[in-house]
Amino acid sequence: MTDPFGRDITYLRVSVTDRCDFRCTYCMSEHMTFLPKKDLLTLEELDRLCTVFIGKGVKKLRLTGGEPLVRKNIMHLVEEIGRHLKTGALEELTLTTNGSQLTRHASDLYRHGVRRINVSMDTLDPAKFREITRWGDLSRVLDGIKAAQDAGLKIKINAVALKNFNDTEIPDMIRWAHGQGMDMTVIETMPMGEIEEDRTDRYLPLSMLRADLSRQFTLEDIPYKTGGPARYVKIKETGGRLGFITPMTHNFCESCNRVRLTCTGTLYMCLGQNDAADLRTPLRASEGNELVSAAIDEAIGRKPKGHDFVIDRRTKRPAVTRHMSVTGG
């Protein structure tokens, strides 16, 4: 699959549910309206769609949500997709999670072929963790991280950089993550979906954060890549890697190799654009995959060059109305 700008699409992110057991303030409203369960693709349909994408050249597949591990019988899907790892058709199956369910699922994830996961965590302060997630319990996430490491999973910590919330804490989070043998990535907040707060109050350009970090760490740019948009540095003092994901200040669209599939079968060719393709209808219209394969080809043929995120005092509305949890975080 090659888009109009010559970019090969080899990375599929699949949101298996829009539901989550947290309500992170920058991601969701406190009182979310979730999709009716009847609108969701079955696990078998998700597997079928993933298999079509793998047959068309996807080499890396990431399960996301919402919180993917709250989807009922999610391990059945992980096991089914894992069969493509055994044949070599798929190079990596991975997962982004908030960590709340890892104590229950870590061993099964490893058993079915997952070797690396991302855990989203924005603070190591229990009170602040409860504040930012509204419902979350930090100790449960830390227990989940330990269970995942004990199971053999490699972990990367993802933290959204938030002004006047965790900006001064990020150096200690880096030391903690690297001390535990985990990489870490910091991410700029993105204007997706209506939330209760003004995102300009929280928005922290990572160029500013990097300048602050340079005052206490030695940062060396390195060519390390995981298939996603992060640009990495090696930190001399800790020996670990730190990634920067900058959709606002320095977008990474020129090398975008990703598309996103929602739990309803909607394909978004760009996280920051509203154009989408319905794959559920052709999927259900035939027992064969010719119709859905053609729909995918048509969608890739109109993948945009990039997104147009803006956060400033004049731009109060989100760039796209859907929440991140709908598209897949």
End-to-end CA distance of the chain: 23
> Which residues are annotated as part of the binding site for S-adenosyl-L-methionine?
26, 66, 120, 190
Asked if residue 1 belongs to a domain, the reply is no
Three-state secondary structure call for residue 63:
strand
Give pLDDT, residue 169.
96
Asked if residue 111 belongs to a domain, the reply is yes
Asked if residue 6 belongs to a domain, the reply is no
Residue 38: partners with Cβ closer than 8 Å, 6 or more residues away: none
Angstrom distance (rounded) from CA 101 to CA 145: 10
Residue 184, Cα to own-chain centre: how many angstroms? 14
Give pLDDT, residue 192.
47
Asked if residue 238 belongs to a domain, the reply is yes
Angstrom distance (rounded) from CA 171 to CA 180: 14
Angle between the N-to-C axes of helices 74-87 and 102-111, in degrees from 0 to 180, rounded to the nearest 10? 30
Residue type, 259: V
> Which residues are annotated as part of the binding site for GTP?
13, 62, 96, 156, 258-260
pLDDT surpassing 80 at residue 129: yes
CATH of the domain at 287: 3.20.20.70
> Which residues are annotated as part of the binding site for [4Fe-4S] cluster?
20, 24, 27, 253, 256, 270
> What is the span of the domain harbouring residue 157?
11-327
Angstrom distance (rounded) from CA 203 to CA 180: 28
> Which residues are annotated as part of the binding site?
13, 20, 24, 26-27, 62, 66, 96, 120, 156, 190, 253, 256, 258-260, 270
Asked if residue 3 belongs to a domain, the reply is no
pLDDT in tens, 143-154: 999 999 999 999
For residue 88, cis peptide bond before it (omega within 30 degrees of 0): no
Angstrom distance (rounded) from CA 153 to CA 300: 33
pLDDT surpassing 90 at residue 187: yes
pLDDT surpassing 80 at residue 231: yes
Residue 240, both tokens? 């670990």
Mean predicted lDDT score pLDDT of the chain: 88
Least confident range from 22-31, 177-186, 265-274: namely: 22-31
Domain count, the chain: 1
Asked if residue 117 belongs to a domain, the reply is yes
Provide the H-helix boundaries in the chain: 43-55, 74-87, 102-111, 126-133, 138-151, 170-179, 206-213, 280-285, 290-300, 324-327
In this prediction the pTM is 0.86
Residue 110, both tokens? 């490893």
Asked if residue 72 belongs to a domain, the reply is yes
Residue 98, Cα to own-chain centre: how many angstroms? 10
Asked if residue 88 belongs to a domain, the reply is yes
Residue scoring higher pLDDT (225 or 144): 144
Mean per-residue pLDDT, 92-113: 97
**Residues facing 159 on adjacent strands:** 186
Residue 247, both tokens? 């959709």
Burial of 149 (0-12, 13-18, 19+ CB in 10 A): middle
Give pLDDT, residue 249.
54
